[in-house]
Amino acid sequence: MSRSARSTDARLLVGSVWASAAFAVLSLVWGLLAGSQMIVFDGLYSFTAVLLSLLAVFALRTAHRGADERYPWGREVWEPVAITVKAVALGGLCVYALVGAVGELLRGGREIAAGPAVVYAVLATAVGFAIASRLRRGSDEQSDLVRAEAAEWTGDALLGVGVLVGFLVAFVLQAVGNDHLARYVDPMMVAVTSAVYLWVPARLLAGSFREVLSMAPSASIQRDLRTCVDDVEQEYGFSESFLRAAKVGSRMDIEIDFVVAPTSKAQHVTEFDAVRQQIDDRLEPLGYEKSMSVTFTADRKWAV
């Protein structure tokens, strides 16, 4: 990832932090005035996201400092670590809200001002889609942190649509005199929304934890790497090739071992360097910082 792209991603994350902070304050105040546990939960979720987005900005800037004696392979691991912390915190908040909503339902529900709640839901949905779109279009070479931030805003917006429908139902029930039924709408929405919200941190955690553990990258990336290695193996007539790869934040760790046969087209150091350069050029479109090792051996045992 280029320096300009990194700077752009940092600005996008900072902008998301400010948007989350403003939205959190608005949600908390609006929710308390409307008596809606759902809107208060949305505000608490946004406030938590603010703190975690600050962590994401810190992680991104730390990763950009590069390698040194303490981090000989680079600091990119801070990116999946930040996403993991974010996923765990948001998941915990969702579970807490779900338990509270179930308790509210058992106590007979909650009365809300449905009209202001409908206005809030319309505003929240529009803002969520707008910011998610801005994050996705803001950078050609997005980091995982920016993609995670965009996914979070998209999740907010999609759930905002469901919340809007729920508040409209409460508004209609109040209008026709069924206040006793309308009382259950708000805690029911909190229960459903917090349960659905769990997919966002669960998906983030699944991806980031793989990177913290230096597991293999996605199947699509592995296919691209394997295709490149197989093509080079056939072109130069190597006996066999071995590929190992792991994605850590914006860095791709790649180890490639070729078994050289007596008839292989590359036999000398300068020819091996040409092979390395060819592989590096072919993998450039992946868009990751590469930590790549390409070795050659005539004895298979050194490659396995």
Query: What digits encode the pLDDT tens for the residues 19-70?
Result: 888 888 888 888 888 888 888 888 887 787 777 777 777 777 777 777 777 7
pLDDT of residue 193: 80
Q: Is the dihedral of CA 209, 214, 216, 218 positive or negative?
A: positive
Between helix 37-63 and helix 114-137 the angle, nearest 10°, is: 20
CA distance linking residue 200 with residue 57, whole number of Å: 19
pLDDT of residue 185: 87
Q: How many Cβ atoms are within 10 Å of 68's Cβ, its own excluded? A: 9
Q: Are 59 and 156 contacting, i.e. CB atoms less than 8 angstroms apart?
A: no
pLDDT of residue 142: 58
CA distance linking residue 87 with residue 204, whole number of Å: 6
Could you tell me the pTM of the whole model? 0.62
pLDDT of residue 2: 52
Low-confidence ranges of the chain (pLDDT < 70): 1-7, 139-143
Strand bridging mode 240-248 / 289-297 = unpaired
Q: How many C-alpha atoms does 113 have within 13 Å on its Cβ side?
A: 10
Q: Are 69 and 134 contacting, i.e. CB atoms less than 8 angstroms apart?
A: no
pLDDT of residue 94: 84
* CB-count burial class (<10 Å; 0-12, 13-18, 19+) for 159: buried
